[in-house]
Amino acid sequence: MTLSEELLLAYDQQLRTDAETPSAIAVERLGPLRLVTFPGGRGFVTYQNLDGASAQTIAQWVAEALAYYCDDPEIVRVEWKTRGHDHAPGLHEALLQSGFEPDESESIMIGPATALDVEVPLPPGISLRRVTEERDIRAMSAMQDEVFGDSVSDGNADAILRRVACDDGMELWVAEHDGLIVSAGRLEPVRDTEFAGIWGGATRADWRGRGIYRAVTAARARAALALGKKLIHSDSTDYSRPILERYGLLRVSTTTPYRWRR
């Protein structure tokens, strides 16, 4: 096995389980699928593999999964998380026929946490810290909404605050300048695995290219190592992927979310 193949195997075995959805409020099984319900009316479909199913069987699962969520009036949106290395004949077509729309593909990046634990010089006036207070968390969430081109959403902030209240190990890290959050990201240690995930990385456009995202990532890597985690994983956009690659993380596959809205 190559290193990339070993890391992908660890990803499939350790992360594509209940460990993937620690904040779920309900999980139903449909064949190999896990039909997850999150707070805020959000459904999420994931699985470790599709057991070699045929296109006909996969199309049936897609229809049945959507019917399950449609029967719950509180569900307003559903994400079906696909991975590029899965054998999934007909899945793309079945999702489109059921009204799902593909989003941007991202790279699944994995590598040792030690590779990201580096000293990064910060621009003058920039400081890093972990945030835990509601006011800071709402400011962080609003900045991320803006950077990702979304409307600022109290719902997104509320979801993060619910996660914080669960005390499941998630950490939120920000970079600030004169009290303004200019970059942020969260760390999610995965219980009973070697992994911690780095998610939600966002930097205001006028602060990019100055090493700030790298510094926020290094802070999260140090926090992961302090928790005994050896591997970092991330679904990375084309903005963050080159940064992680420079520090030794490998692109082991891709992931594409398909989204349905009521």
Q: List, for residues 171-222, the tens digit of each pLDDT value.
A: 999 999 999 999 999 999 999 999 999 998 899 999 999 999 999 999 999 9
Q: What residues contact residue 181 under an 8 Å CB cut-off, 6+ apart?
A: 136, 139, 140, 143, 174, 175
* Alpha-carbon gap, residue 184 to 216, rounded angstroms: 7
Query: By percentage, how much of the chain surpasses pLDDT 90?
Result: 84
**Is the per-residue pLDDT at 28 higher than 90?**
yes
For the chain, percent helix, then strand, then coil, each to nearest 5?
35, 30, 35
* pLDDT value of residue 90: 98
Q: Which pLDDT tens digit goes with each residue over 52-76? A: 999 999 999 999 999 999 999 999 9
pLDDT bucket at 14, cuts 50 / 70 / 90: very high
* pLDDT value of residue 23: 82
* Alpha-carbon gap, residue 239 to 253, rounded angstroms: 17
Instruction: Name the residue among 128, 91, 149, 123 with its Cα closest to residue 221.
Output: 128
Backbone dihedral region of 103: left (phi > 0), alpha (psi from -120 to 50 degrees) or beta? beta
Place of tokens 């660890």: 10
Instruction: Name the residue among 190, 216, 180 with its Cα closest to residue 201.
Output: 216
Pairs from 238-244 (Cβ < 8 Å, separation ≥ 24): 239/208, 240/201, 240/213, 241/107, 241/109, 243/213, 243/214, 243/217, 244/109, 244/111, 244/116, 244/217
Q: pTM for this one?
A: 0.87
Q: Residue 167 corresponds to which tokens in the numbers above?
A: 């005390």
* pLDDT value of residue 239: 81
- Is the separation of the CB atoms in 25 and 38 below 8 Å? yes
Determine how β-strand 106-112 pairs with β-strand 101-102: unpaired
Q: At what angle do helices 134-147 and 154-166 cross, to 10 degrees?
A: 130
